A and B are shown apart, each in its own frame.
Chain A
Amino acid sequence: MYVAVKGGEKAIDNAHALMRTQRRGDTAIAELSVDQIRQQLPLAVDRIMNEGSVYDPELAALALKQASGDAVEAIFLLRAYRTTLPRFGYSEPLDTEQMQIERRISGTFKDLPGGQILGSTYDYTHRLLDFSLLASGEAEVAPAEANALSEALAAGNSCPRVLELLNKEGLIEQSRETGDGDQIPRDLTREPVNYPAERAVRLQNLMRGDEGFLLSLSYASMRGYGDSHPFSGEMRTGRVSVELVPEELGFPIEIGEVLLTESEMVNQFHGSKDLPPQFTRGYGIAFGRAERKAMSVALVERALRAEELGEEVLYPTQDQEFVLSHTDCVSANGFVSHLKLPHYVDFQSELEMIRRLRKEQGQATQSKTTNEEANA
């Protein structure tokens, strides 16, 4: 006699125990510490912080360890923790002009006030596997004086953003919008998004968005599916202080600093009947060293402004509802993976339906043949 599959609870416990064993791997190999992840896999940690929407390298590293290195799972862990955190208040707007710059690249001007600073980068490496890292020796690092120089440079190195230089000449649009939505951004983890969404909401959504998805959308739009092939006006990375005005004090105090990467793209705009031809901006910002993310956000952000700038919306990247509804890797992963959940009942309904349709069709064909035979 058939016995309904019981024991779901035990199966779940066992599955989780097995997962923990797999995560640990060979116990003859030393266990990875959260500090090691934080120090030695910082770019992975930065991605977890960005899409997890929490600036906390330690928790992000912990999530990465707990998730066996699966970025999407780690982001999910961090999000599920973040959602329970109380809100103490909102910081003052960050002033990225005051950033202590460790890297700054402009694709539009060869030299500019503050200079180009190459900083640390994978660009121009020859992507040759470095087998010396495989041998368990210490990797070669920069000499101490180079580090000191770079730090000294960063400390005194705040400079105006490139796009502000264009702004002075009136060649580029003003970036601020007017109205409440611009001054007091909504929190999209607390309120549902209404379409059309204002720019601040769109930017929030993109910052939390899946890096790969945004990268591909940017790529598509640069290749012609979106009419956005901009210049990288500036990309800068460095520390910015975060200020908060406690109610009982009434003036801003510094509560810490965050490492940020900011990207500003410059796009052509041919003008409309109200506006003269001018450059427009695409803006992106991300926690940590996350150039790919910041640039992708800036590209997609600009593409999404098609409607407000009176451009024709022809491609998915320009379509708010298409882009903003599908950026979130936690949601996307959840919904795709929910197909692993049982769908017995719906499938049973479809089975019944398709059997009936086939039967009816079979009967119809049969009676047709019988009629034809009779007529012959």
Chain B
Amino acid sequence: MSAATAIGYNFAYLDEQSKRMIRRAILKGVAIPGYQVPFGGREMPLPHGWGTGGMQVTASVIGEADKLKVIDQGADDTTNAVSIRRFFAHTAGVETTELTAEATLIQTRHRIPERPLQADQILIYQVPIPEPLRFIEPRESETRKMHALSEYGAMQVKLYEDVARFGHIATSYDYPVMVNNRYMMDPSPIPKFDNPKMSMMPALQLFGAGFEKRIYAVPPFTQVESLDFDDHPFEVQSWEDACSICGSDHSFLDEVIIDDNGSKMFVCSDTDYCRERVTEGFVGEAPAQLETEQ
């Protein structure tokens, strides 16, 4: 263990017993893709909803040789990502990185990196509410039965009601998926733009919901399908604009308000992807107002 780690705490904060218990839950999750495995979630020094589930999973699988990347909204420099990255740098003394390509573990909130992940990487999602049926049926005792019986009609009805009212499915993030044709799964609140990346991904995907005490997993090369209808197929968001920094017209873009009149520009939400494109020589067009100001 490096000298920089926290005094009085075990490697990566959690005690080895707890880590072993969490790894057992992970193995069960991998064996039953998409199934929510109850586990003895520990209280963590971060609040509920701030990534305690993801942190417990990360703490249980991280080793001294790992390189950790933490993103929030796709970005490495958002405050909570910084805070979690520091936590592991402090308690495990591991090397951290902002480069998607060289990370072995990536803990994420709300995004999947744009750069395709590889077989030797693990993507760890922070999950606030693991139950895709929660807003249809608030009772855990009921939803567990619905999963056991694959009784997912209620979700199809909800999506159909969208089609009836709006002409198409009006869920833009937290979009439910079917894993390996068996379990309905909540992909955590990633935009539906990222849903297709989950399917047949070479990397292992682990999901941790701390307060709800659930872990689930999508093993490498597992089929993940977003729910839809034959006549209303699943589709992802697209933008009419491109990233002002790197010119990308195919990545998820964040909208940034740049003046009091509400003028806006778009930038990649994945900061590492954007940076990489800029190094490769791609350049975006700055928005009109900014150019005239210059």
**Chain A residues within CB distance 8 Å of chain B:** 1-2, 4-9, 11-12, 76, 79-80, 82-84, 86, 189-196, 321-322, 330-335, 337-338, 341-346, 348-353, 357, 360
| C-alpha gap A332/B254 in the complex (Å) | 29
B182 cross-chain contacts in A, Cβ below 8 A: none
Chain B residue nearest in CB terms to A331: B48
Contact with A along B251-270 (1 / 0, CB 8 A): 01111101000000101010
Q: How far apart are B281's CB and chain A's nearest CB, in angstroms?
A: 16
Of B80, B141, B269, the residue contacting A341 (CB under 8 A) is B80
- Size of the B side of the interface (Cβ < 8 Å), in residues, is 67
Given the known interface contacts A4-B271, A12-B82, A12-B83, the answer about A346 and B174 at a Cβ–Cβ threshold of 8 Å is: yes
A360 cross-chain contacts in B, Cβ below 8 A: 166-167
A357 touching B170 by the CB < 8 A rule?
yes
Q: How far apart are A132's CB and chain B's nearest CB, in angstroms?
A: 41
B258 touching A2 by the CB < 8 A rule?
yes
A195 touching B49 by the CB < 8 A rule?
no
B237 touching A352 by the CB < 8 A rule?
yes
| C-alpha gap A196/B142 in the complex (Å) | 11
B79 cross-chain contacts in A, Cβ below 8 A: 8, 11-12, 341
Q: Is B173 an interface residue (CB 8 A)?
A: yes
Chain A residue nearest in CB terms to B271: A4
| C-alpha gap A80/B200 in the complex (Å) | 38
Q: How far apart are A168's CB and chain B's nearest CB, in angstroms?
A: 38
The interface-forming segment of B35-43, B113-121, B222-230 is B35-43
A2 touching B267 by the CB < 8 A rule?
yes
A334 touching B48 by the CB < 8 A rule?
yes
A2 touching B244 by the CB < 8 A rule?
yes
| C-alpha gap A9/B79 in the complex (Å) | 7
A345 touching B73 by the CB < 8 A rule?
yes
B269 touching A337 by the CB < 8 A rule?
no
B189 touching A346 by the CB < 8 A rule?
yes
Of B15, B141, B256, B267, the residue contacting A86 (CB under 8 A) is B15
| C-alpha gap A333/B138 in the complex (Å) | 20
Q: How far apart are A222's CB and chain B's nearest CB, in angstroms?
A: 25
Chain B residue nearest in CB terms to A338: B49
Q: Which 6 pairs from chain A and chain B are nearest by CB?
A: A334-B47, A338-B49, A334-B48, A349-B172, A192-B213, A80-B45
A335 cross-chain contacts in B, Cβ below 8 A: 47-49, 128, 211
Chain A residue nearest in CB terms to B21: A190
A196 touching B141 by the CB < 8 A rule?
yes
Q: How far apart are A186's CB and chain B's nearest CB, in angstroms?
A: 10
Contact with A along B104-146 (1 / 0, CB 8 A): 0000011100000000000000001000000000111100000
A348 touching B255 by the CB < 8 A rule?
yes
Q: How far apart are B213's CB and chain A's nearest CB, in angstroms?
A: 4
B140 cross-chain contacts in A, Cβ below 8 A: 195, 321
Q: Is B69 an interface residue (CB 8 A)?
A: no
Q: How far apart are A79's CB and chain B's nearest CB, in angstroms?
A: 5
Could you jot down 18 A-B contacts, CB within 8 Å? A1-B244, A4-B267, A79-B43, A80-B44, A192-B39, A335-B47, A338-B48, A341-B50, A341-B109, A342-B73, A343-B73, A343-B189, A346-B172, A348-B255, A349-B173, A353-B170, A353-B172, A360-B167
Chain A residue nearest in CB terms to B167: A360
| C-alpha gap A349/B44 in the complex (Å) | 30
A344 touching B269 by the CB < 8 A rule?
yes
**B6-51 with Cβ < 8 A to chain A:** 9, 13, 15, 38-50
A8 touching B73 by the CB < 8 A rule?
no
Q: Is B242 an interface residue (CB 8 A)?
A: no
B192 touching A342 by the CB < 8 A rule?
no
A6 cross-chain contacts in B, Cβ below 8 A: 77
B41 cross-chain contacts in A, Cβ below 8 A: 192
| C-alpha gap A350/B193 in the complex (Å) | 12
Of A4, A195, A322, A337, the residue contacting B75 (CB under 8 A) is A4
| C-alpha gap A12/B290 in the complex (Å) | 30
| C-alpha gap A330/B265 in the complex (Å) | 38
| C-alpha gap A342/B73 in the complex (Å) | 7
B83 touching A190 by the CB < 8 A rule?
no
Q: How far apart are B4's CB and chain A's nearest CB, in angstroms?
A: 16
B269 touching A345 by the CB < 8 A rule?
yes
Q: How far apart are A87's CB and chain B's nearest CB, in angstroms?
A: 10
Tell me which of A76, A346, A348, A357 has the highest count of chain B C-beta atoms within 10 A of its own C-beta: A348
A2 cross-chain contacts in B, Cβ below 8 A: 244-245, 256, 258, 265, 267, 286, 290
A189 touching B43 by the CB < 8 A rule?
yes
**B186-206 with Cβ < 8 A to chain A:** 189-193
| C-alpha gap A7/B79 in the complex (Å) | 9
Of B83, B252, B286, the residue contacting A1 (CB under 8 A) is B286
| C-alpha gap A353/B174 in the complex (Å) | 14
Q: How far apart are A52's CB and chain B's nearest CB, in angstroms?
A: 10
